[in-house]
Amino acid sequence: MRPAILCVLLVGCAAAPTRTAPSECSPVGLEQVAFFTGTYRGSTKEGLVEEQWSAACGGTMLGVGRTVLEGKTTFFEFLRVERRADGVFYVAQPRGGPATEFRLVTAATNEARFENPLHDFPRVITYRKVGADLVTRVEGVEQGQPLVEETVLHPR
């Protein structure tokens, strides 16, 4: 290689913008819900229930849930928890449909409660860590009757 070409290549490399590794993600602003990060599985009368939650990063946690019965997915939903200027919100999109938002109303060590009093079912979503297990509880009204469902999910 000629010295002039080598010089141009070296100068070009020196002038190229430097890229830095992405900064490490942190749960800042979502510390009170970071406990449910992970992959979980449990059984209910509706079938096998799975939830998977990413670690908090960039002010969000992303999740996905599904129910499988007799080898067929009978329900799925896209989930996220996000930090906003006016609070922390749990956002659910059952079957990929329109989003429904629930505001974080209480948080304690290993427990978080989200509410949307204007929604029928659920109105309340609670996540609680019990040992290694994640317990989900949904409460609301279905067909005019109060309904509560609680599911114990085990880490995978």
What CATH number is associated with residue 58?
Answer: 2.40.128.20
131 found inside a domain: yes
Question: Could you tell me which residue, 2 or 129, shows the higher pLDDT?
Answer: 129
In total, how many domains does the chain have?
Answer: 1
5 found inside a domain: no
17 found inside a domain: no
- Segment 70-97 shows an average pLDDT of 97
88 found inside a domain: yes
- Segment 127-145 shows an average pLDDT of 97
pLDDT of residue 7: 39
Domain with 63 in it? 27-155
134 found inside a domain: yes
pLDDT in tens, 38-72: 999 999 999 999 999 999 999 999 999 999 999 99
4 found inside a domain: no
pLDDT band for position 104 (cuts 50, 70, 90): very high
Rounded to whole angstroms, the Cα distance separating 138 from 90 reads 13
Q: What is the pTM of this model?
A: 0.83
90 found inside a domain: yes
103 found inside a domain: yes
8 Å CB contact between 96 and 78: yes
